[in-house]
Amino acid sequence: MTDDRIPTSISVASEIEKEYKQLEESDAWNQVYQRIRSEGTFNLPCTAAKSSVNKNLNRYRDVLPYDHTRIVLSGTNTNFINASLVKVESVNRSYILTQGPLPQTSPHFWLMVWQQKVKGIIMLNKVIEKNQIKCHQYWPVGNSDGGDNTMAVSSVGLQVDLVSMDRHSHYNYSTLRLTENASGDSRTILHFHYTTWPDFGVPQSPEAFYKFLNVVRASGVLEPDVGPSVVHCSAGIGRSGTFCLVDTVLMMISKGLCDSGPGKVIEVLLDMRKQRMGLIQTPDQLRFSYQAIVYGANRLSEVNGKDPCEESSSEEPSLAEDLPPQPPPRTDSLTRSMIESQLAKELDGEGSETGPDDNEDYDDLSKDDDTMPPLPDEPNAESSGQDSSPPTSPNHSNSLSNNSTVRRRKAHAARRETTASKVKEMVEKQRANEKWQEKKRAKVGDEEERDTSQEVVKRARV
């Protein structure tokens, strides 16, 4: 950013901050958000997404990619994936916004990453939230977490290897290697997993989110000389839309491309909604977007971010000093993908076709942000169907049939109880790890700003 643009950036930031304060004082966020929903809902064709052959490839029946911006796959049994290319040409930004992969769409996800020459994946949700699976475990868990370092995606001729993974206070940063089996060619994929977005609402402060954004920026995965970055949450519209809106508007401000008048943030959002439906899903997400933009704009004179590979022990205590809770032994562990597979087998149906009810990430439908239903309290249809009716003839054959039905019910109930226990165990381990993360953040809170300032000075001198 050149010096002559700093005054313009400051004036634009001041105008956005003024607009934010006006909305805050008048408590008008819901009113403005309803206007966005009204003006930003477009009747554009989604023919491919609505095709009967692609129905089970959509996580939610009402979150669909438009035909004119959908990513088209090649070389596989389908050319469809629920993913949209969102471009902001004025700042040379391109994002692929997509749903959290399902088990049956994970191969398509990796094929898209390969074919679109993606360098970075930005994940904004946890695999499990509110005791429900929000996203398939589509990348290797790693030996240290009771999984494997390698994941074969044989149906599309690819393999994913976990090279390294670093845990930080608000995110995990992984280096993956994606290899095409036929040619032997491989590429490095950077995976940024923001782990502290609450189950409901938005992050408590824009500061941590802004730092995460800068780490992503510093890696180069958002630059125009590489393929578009993949950004996803569960539906690929709420948290994902927030991330892209904040990044885009801050880029516009830094390049002097924002008008000083009010309404610029909403204008950008409405334009992005023409490329993927429903971006920004709640008034709180809209409010947080303004907060993050104001916070970031006020810091435009600072160096953008850190090299994620260098954000190390100077900011955070050694992991050896205070290790997080360890995963169970490999023989006792149940990986997230195993849980998802077991739930799919044991519970009714293939998942809800209604939208999510998580107000945080899919307010338009007011349903849960994952198609996998919660564990039922009552036996499902599989164990309460025809076989449960009294026999018409009390003969020996019917008696055996009833005994068989009772055994199936008991076995089914036992499987459900085991699955529920495993899900509870994973949730408890996730919460324990989050408590450890909070403890670690408390230790480094006083040191972080000092280290950041020193890093800025060092980079400025270089």
The answer to whether residues 291 and 381 belong to one domain is no
The answer to whether residues 151 and 300 belong to one domain is yes
Q: What is the pLDDT of residue 190?
A: 98
Residue 17 has pLDDT above 70, yes or no: yes
At 399, the pLDDT band (50, 70, 90 cuts) reads low
Report whether 441 belongs to an annotated binding site. Answer: no
- For the chain, the domain total comes to 2
Q: Is 46 a catalytic residue?
A: no
Closest CA relative to residue 269, chosen from 233, 293, 297, 304:
293
Domain of 447?
375-389+400-462
Report whether 236 belongs to an annotated binding site. Answer: yes
The answer to whether residues 99 and 206 belong to one domain is yes
The answer to whether residues 407 and 282 belong to one domain is no
Terminal Cα-to-Cα distance of the chain (whole angstroms): 16
Q: Among the options 46, 135, 233, 258, which is catalytic? A: 233
Q: Is residue 428 in a domain? A: yes
pTM for the model stands at 0.72
Q: Is residue 231 in a domain? A: yes
The answer to whether residues 298 and 382 belong to one domain is no
Q: Is residue 322 in a domain? A: no
Residue 384 has pLDDT above 90, yes or no: no
> Poorest-confidence range of 70-79, 131-140, 188-197, 378-387?
378-387
The answer to whether residues 152 and 274 belong to one domain is yes
Q: Is residue 321 in a domain? A: no
Report whether 205 belongs to an annotated binding site. Answer: no
The answer to whether residues 89 and 194 belong to one domain is yes
CATH number, domain of 303, equals: 3.90.190.10
Q: Is residue 320 in a domain? A: no
Q: Is residue 353 in a domain? A: no
Q: Are strands 150-153 and 128-129 parallel, antiparallel or unpaired?
A: unpaired
What's the pLDDT tens digit per position in 137-179? 999 999 988 889 999 999 999 999 999 999 998 999 999 999 9
Report whether 142 belongs to an annotated binding site. Answer: no
d(CA 76, CA 155): 8
Q: Which of 260, 285, 311 is the last residue of a domain?
A: 311
Report whether 233 belongs to an annotated binding site. Answer: yes
Report whether 239 belongs to an annotated binding site. Answer: yes
For residue 128, give the 3-state DSSP assignment: strand
The answer to whether residues 220 and 102 belong to one domain is yes
Report whether 235 belongs to an annotated binding site. Answer: yes
Report whether 445 belongs to an annotated binding site. Answer: no
The answer to whether residues 299 and 382 belong to one domain is no
The answer to whether residues 295 and 407 belong to one domain is no
Q: Is residue 254 in a domain? A: yes
Residue 323 has pLDDT above 60, yes or no: no
Pairwise pLDDT comparison (400 vs 295), residue with the higher score = 295
What's the pLDDT tens digit per position in 268-283? 999 999 999 999 999 9
Q: Which of 283, 311, 339 is the last residue of a domain?
A: 311
Q: What is the pLDDT of residue 320?
A: 32
Q: Could you tell me if residue 44 is left (phi over 0), alpha (psi between -120 and 50 degrees) or otherwise beta? A: beta
Q: Which of 261, 296, 311 is the last residue of a domain?
A: 311
Given a contact cutoff of 8 angstroms between Cβ atoms, the answer to whether 168 and 102 are in contact is no
